[in-house]
Copies of this chain bind each other. A is one copy, B any other.
Amino acid sequence: MRTVTKDTITDVFAGYFGTDTDPRVREVLVALARHLHAFTREVNLTHEEWQKALEIMEWAGRITTPERNEFVLMSDVMGLSSLVDMVNSRADATSSSVLGPFHVSNAPPLAMGGDMKRDFGGEVLLVEGHVRDTAGNPIAGATLDIWQTAPNGLYSSQDPDQDIHSFHGLMTCDDDGRYAFTTVKPVSYTVPTDGPVGEILNAAGRHPWRPSHLHYIAAAEGFRTLVTEVFPDDDPYLDQDTVFGVRDDLVMHYESRPADTFPDGMELSGKVKEDYLQVTFDVVLANA
């Protein structure tokens, strides 16, 4: 088609596809073009705004590294990451929630009852629970890849004072699907605001805070891998998580308990001399 108009361009785009292309690739790309074209027409996007969008992408590209992925963060604050989680969630399983840009692969094993806080200060938090299938049966040997911020609000990849696997651990559930470990209570923190995402948040009059949370990737053979988070129910940012990650079934009460109730069989048994916090977070995995 020689003359393309603003009303025909999506059809022309679809018409350019070869006949033997993957139907899913075609479906996704044509739908993406249709929605981006509709957006452009709807707001009558100016050349200056288009240029600004390009500058944002270039800036994101310049500062993205394996340790800091500005494109993931942009997807997060636009609600895209959470929406992908939601359209792929199963109603009968634990909700999924954003992976975020700070997960570090190959976390060291975390033994049953092990401790992630090591020499860091902060109130001890005992985290325990079970991983079960949708019928309530325990999933023996399910793995939990767990990570969180240090008490200073920084992930290991953001903090030159932490080693790369600080506050990262890989736990394997026992035959009852049970897991337990200690850490410090995670803290609310801001997403990085020194790049284009900070500029977007600022232009939108939005704060950059996330409610505190522990990240989990729960996996077991025969089950759908679940990326999720658990939030304390007293966090001031629960109602406005800047990355849209909060779901009702992921908000848990962190119970304050006296030191003398700290259970035996944990790495910190005998070392906890003060009140501690305890939270139970059970995970339900859907079949693959």
Contact = CB atoms under 8 A, between A and B. Distances in A.
A106 interface: no
A80 B204 contact: no
Contacts of A10: 79
A84 B4 contact: no
Interface string A32-61: 111111111111111101100010011011
- Give the residue among A25, A35, A240 with the most B Cβ atoms within 10 A: A35
A242 B17 CA distance: 11
Contact of A18 (B36, B71, B205): B205
A263 B4 CA distance: 36
Which 3 A-B pairs rank lowest in CB-CB distance, beginning with the nearest?
A: A18-B205, A61-B61, A35-B39
A163 B46 CA distance: 33
Contacts of A72: 54
Given A18-B205, A204-B29, A88 B3 contact: no
Given A206-B16, A239-B2, A200 B29 contact: yes
A69 interface: yes
Contact of A88 (B47, B85, B86, B227): B47
Contacts of A247: 3-4
Interface in A216-250: 227, 238-240, 242, 244, 246-248
A70 to B, nearest CB: 8
Nearest to A204: B17
A242 B10 CA distance: 13
Interface in A71-94: 71-72, 75, 78-88
Given A1-B240, A29-B203, 8 more contacts: A4-B246, A10-B79, A17-B204, A44-B87, A58-B71, A61-B62, A61-B64, A61-B71
Contact of A71 (B12, B27, B54): B54
A140 interface: no
A33 B238 contact: no
A104 interface: no
28 contacts: A2-B239, A2-B246, A3-B246, A4-B82, A4-B244, A12-B79, A12-B244, A13-B78, A13-B79, A17-B205, A17-B206, A18-B204, A20-B205, A21-B204, A27-B43, A29-B203, A29-B204, A35-B35, A36-B78, A36-B80, A37-B80, A40-B84, A40-B87, A44-B88, A45-B84, A45-B87, A54-B69, A61-B71
